[in-house]
Structure 1
Amino acid sequence: MDLDAYVLAHHAEWERLEALTKKRRLDGRESDELVEKYQRVATHLSVIRTATPDATVITYLSLLLSRARNRAGRARGSTWHGVRTFALERFPAALYRLRWWWLGTMAANVVVTAVMMWWLLDHPNVEQTLLSPRDVDQLVNHDVSGYYSQYAATHFAAEVWTNNVWVTALCLALGVLGLPVIYLLFQNIANLAVIGSIMIRHGHGAQFWGLILPHGMLELTAVFVAGGVGLRLFWSWVEPGDLTRAQSFALEGRTAGTVALGLVGVLAVSGLIEAFVTPSPLPTWGRIAIGVLAEATFLAYVFVLGRQAFLRGHTGDIDPALLGDRVVAQA
C-alpha cells in the first residue's frame, strides 16, 4: 500500500476529527460525528499498523484518537446527550435485539403459571399440605389486601422497588450459570400460582386479579426481561457463533449492564403504580386500565423506538468510542 496516497486520501477526516476534539462545546450532531470519525480513524490506524507501519503517522493517529476518546467522554458527561442516547437508543435497542429471549421467557412463565393454577384448583387437598385452615383464612381475608396498605405509599414504593431490583439483579448476575435464573423465575411464579389458586377457590378471585394486574403486568415483564437477558448471557458462552467465547460473553455482558440500568426505571414505574394505584379507591377496571396502559407503553417503547434504533445499528452495547482503539478496529 502507498502510505503517502493513503494519508492524502484520509487526511481531511483526521483534520476534521482534530477540529472536533478542540471545540469547547459539541451539540448532539457534532457528538455523533465525533464518534463516527473516531471509529473511522481507528480503522485507518489499524490498516497502517498492519500494512505499512510508520512511526510518525502511528504516533499522530494514536494521540489524536486518545484526545478524541477523552473529548467524547467529556461531551457525554457535560450534556444530556448520553442520557438521551441511552433512553432513546441503547436501552430500547437492547430490548428489541433480545426480544425473542425475554418474550419466550414471558410466554413460558405465563403457561407454567396457568397450568400450576389449574392443577392446584383441581387438587384442593394440596392446599391443606401447604397451609393450615387458619393460615388460609388469614391469607384470604387479611394478608393479600392488607399487604398494599400496611405502609405509607412512599415507603411502600421504595420497599417494592428495592425488592424488584434485587430479583432482576439476581437474574442478570446469575445468568452466566443459566440454571439459577430458571430457579428464581420458578420460585416467583410458584408463589403467584399458589396464592392465586387459594384466593380463587375461596371466592376472592376478582379481588386477587384486581390487586395484582395493575402493577403486576409491568413488574413481571421487567422480571421476565431480566430472566431472558440472563439466559442469553448464559447462551453467549455456550454457543458464541462467529465470535470467540470471550468476545461473545463480553458483548452480551455489556448489553446486560445496559438492560439492568434501564430496568431500574421500569421497576420504579411499577413500584409507583403498586404503591399509589393498586390500593387506591379507584374502581377495579380503572386500576387495571392504568396497568394495561403502562404495559402497552413499555411494549411500544420496545417495538417502535427499539426497532428504529436497532435498524440504525444500535445493539445495546456501549459506545464503541469508549471501548478503545483495538476493540473498534477489530469490530
Structure 2
Amino acid sequence: MNLDALVAAHSDQWRRLDELSRRRRLTGGQADELLDLYQQVSTHLSLIRTGEADPTLVRHLSTILSRARVTLAGQTSSTWSDLGGFFLRTFPAALYRLRRWWLLTLALNVLAAFLVAWWTIEHPQVYTSMMTREEINAYVGTDFENYYREFPHHEFATLVWVNNAWVAAQAIVFGVLGFPVVYVLWQNTMGLGIVGALMASHDRASLFFGMILPHGLLELTAVFVAGGAGLWLFWSWIDPGPRPRAVAFAEAGRTVIAIALGLVAVLLVSGLIEGFVTPSGLPTAARILIGVLAEAAFFAYVFVVGRRAFRAGATGDVSRTAVGDAAPMAG
C-alpha cells in the first residue's frame, strides 16, 4: 500500500469528517454525510493499520473517528437549561416523591433528640462520664460558642459544607444495606441531644438554640432528607413490587443520586449561613429568623415547585430516552 498516495487521495475526506464532527448542530444532509464519511474513514484506518502503519497518522484518524462517533451517538453537553431543568423539575420532584420517607425520618429524629436530651438532663452522668468538670465548664462557658468563631467565615463555611455533605453522602450510600443509615442518623441525633442537654443543664439553652437554629434547621433537614432517601433505596430492593429487583433498585438509585446532587446546593446554603450568619453580630432573633426563612423556602420549594413538577410527570429519575429500552413486565 502506498501510504502517501492514500493520504493524497483521502485527506480532504478526513478534513471534512473532522469539520462535521466538531459542529454542535447538523442538518439532515450533513448528518448523512457524516455517517458516510465515518464509514469510509474507518475503512481507511483499517487499511493503514494492516500495512506499515504510521503511528502519528493512526492517532490522528483515531481521534477524528472518536469525535465523529460521539457526534453520531448524539453528544449532550451541560447547559444552563439543563441545570435549570434539574433544579426546577428533577430535584424538587424527587424530594416531593419521597416526602413521606424523609418527613417521617425528620419527625422521628427530632423526637429522638428531645428524648435523648430529656434523659441526659435526668441522668447527667451521661456527659460527666465523658468529660471532666473542667472540660464541661470550658465547653459550656466558651468552647461551644467559639467553635463558630475560631475560623475565618469563608473557611468555616467550606469546612461545614464538606462535613455535612459527607454525612449526607454516608446516609445515602449506606442505603444499600439499610441499617447503617439508622446508625449514622442516630449518632448525629444522639450527639445533638446530649449537647443540648449539657447546655440546658447549665442555663445556656438560649445560647444553644441561638447558635444552632440559624443554620441547623436547613442543615439537619438536608441530612434527614438524605437519610430518608437512603432508607427508600434500601426498601426498593426489599419490596420491588411487580418489577424485577434489579430494575427497581436501579430506578431508585438514579433518583437518590439526583437527591444527593441537589443536596450539595442545599448544604452549601446552610454552610454559608453557618459560616456567615451564625457567628455574626446580628441579634439572636434576627439570626434565627434567617434560619426559619431558609427552612420555609426549602419546604416551599418542595411542596410548590416539587409538587408541580411531580404532577407534570417528573419523578426524579432520568428521562426514558436516557434510561433506554426496558423489557416488558407483567402487572
Classify the TM-score, shorter chain.
0.7 to 0.9
CA distance in 2, matches of 1:329, 1:70: 25
Q: Take 1:257 and 1:267, find their aligned partners in 2: how far apart are those partners?
A: 15
Identify the residue that residue 208 of structure 1 maps to in structure 2.
208
The question of whether the paired residues in 1 share the 8 Å contact of 2:277 and 2:287 is answered with: yes
Number of the residue aligned with 2:165 = 165
Give the conservation status (yes or no) of the 8 Å contact 1:102–1:229: yes
Question: Are 1:119 and 2:119 counterparts?
Answer: yes
The share of aligned pairs that are identical, in percent, is 50
Aligned match of 1:36: none
CA distance in structure 2 between the aligned counterparts of 1:126 and 1:180, rounded to whole angstroms? 24
Question: Residue 130 of structure 1: CA displacement?
Answer: 2.4
- 1:263 is aligned to 263
Give distance in 1, aligned partners of 2:222 and 2:116.
Answer: 22
1:88 aligns with 2:69: no
- Give, as a single letter, the amino acid of the residue that structure 1 aligns with 2:207: Q
Whichever residue aligns with residue 140 of structure 1, its letter is: V
Give, in whole Å, the separation in 2 of the partners of 1:209 and 1:264: 25
User: In structure 2, how many angstroms separate the alpha carbons of the residues matched to 1:213 and 1:275?
Assistant: 13
Q: Which protein has the bigger helix share?
A: 1
Alignment of 1:258-297 (within 5 A): 258-297=258-297
Q: Is 1:108 aligned with 2:113?
A: no
Determine the C-alpha separation between the residues in 2 that align with 1:212 and 1:154: 18
Deviation at 1:22, TM superposition (A): 4.7
CA contact (8 A) 1:173 1:230 kept: yes
The residue identity in structure 1 corresponding to 2:313 is G
Structure 1 unaligned residues grouped into runs of 5+:
1-20, 25-65
1:254, distance to aligned residue in structure 2 (A) = 0.4
Q: 1:69 to 1:79 in 2, by over 3 A?
A: farther
Equivalent position of 1:42 in the other structure: none
SS in 1 for 2:298: helix
The answer to whether residue 189 in structure 2 is matched with residue 195 in structure 1 is no
Q: What is the one-letter code of the residue matched to 2:186? A: F
> Following the alignment from structure 1 to structure 2, what is the Cα–Cα distance between the partners of residues 314 and 69?
28
What is the deviation of 1:81? Answer: 2.0
Match of 1:3 in 2: none
What residue in structure 2 maps to residue 98 of structure 1?
Answer: 98
Residues 155/328 of structure 1: CA separation in 2 closer, same or farther (3 Å cut): farther
Structure 2: where are the runs of 5+ without partners?
A: 1-24, 29-68
Indicate conservation of the 8 Å contact 2:243/2:329, yes or no. no
Please give the TM-score of this superposition, normalised by the length of structure 2. 0.77
Q: Is the 8 A contact 1:215 1:271 kept in 2?
A: yes
C-alpha change, 1:68 and 1:252, in structure 2 (3 Å) is farther
- 8 A Cα contact 2:222 2:263, kept in partner: yes
Q: Give the residue type in structure 2 aligned to 1:244.
A: P
Cα deviation 1:155-187 (Å, max 9, x = unaligned):
111100110111011111111100000000000
Q: Does 1:181 align with 2:181?
A: yes
Q: Distance in 2 between matches of 1:68 and 1:311?
A: 34
Contact 1:321 1:328 in 2 (8 A): no
Question: 2:240 corresponds to which residue?
Answer: 240
1:220 equivalent in alignment to 2:220: yes
Question: Which SS does the other structure have where 1:130 is aligned?
Answer: coil
Alpha-carbon shift at residue 293 of structure 1 (Å) = 0.3
Alignment RMSD (CA, Å): 2.1
Alignment of 1:285-324 (within 5 A): 285-324=285-324
Write the deviation string for residues 263-312 of structure 1: whole angstroms up to 9, x where unpaired.
00000000000000000010000000000000000000000000000001
Aligned letter for 1:91?
Answer: F
Secondary structure in 1 matching 2:286: helix
- Partners of 2:231 and 2:72 in 1: CA distance: 33
Report SS of the residue matched to 1:92.
helix
2:326 partner amino acid: V
TM-superposition CA deviations, 1:202-221 (whole Å, max 9, x none): 01100000000000000000
- Residue 112 of structure 1, CA deviation: 0.5
Task: Decide whether aligned partners of structure 1 residues 242 and 148 sit closer, same or farther in structure 2, where only a CA change above 3 A counts.
Answer: same
Aligned partner of 2:129 in structure 1 is 129
Aligned equivalents of 1:287 and 1:315: distance in 2?
35
Distance 1:113 1:90 in 2: 32
Distance in 1, Cα, partners of 2:133 & 2:86: 51
Q: Name the counterpart of 1:30.
A: none
| Structure 2 counterparts to residues 55-94 of structure 1, below 5 A | 70-71=73-74, 73-74=75-76, 77=77, 79-94=79-94
Any idea what the Cα deviations from partners look like across 1:223-258, whole Å, max 9, x if unmatched? 000000000000000011121110110010000110
Tell me how far 1:128 sits from its aligned partner: 1.9
**Matched residue count:** 266
Counterparts of 2:201 and 2:134 in 1: how far apart (Å)? 15
Q: Distance in 2 between matches of 1:127 and 1:185?
A: 20
Amino acid at match of 1:274: E
Q: Structure 1 residues 198, 309: CA separation in 2 closer, same or farther (over 3 Å shift)? A: same
Shift of 1:79: 3.3
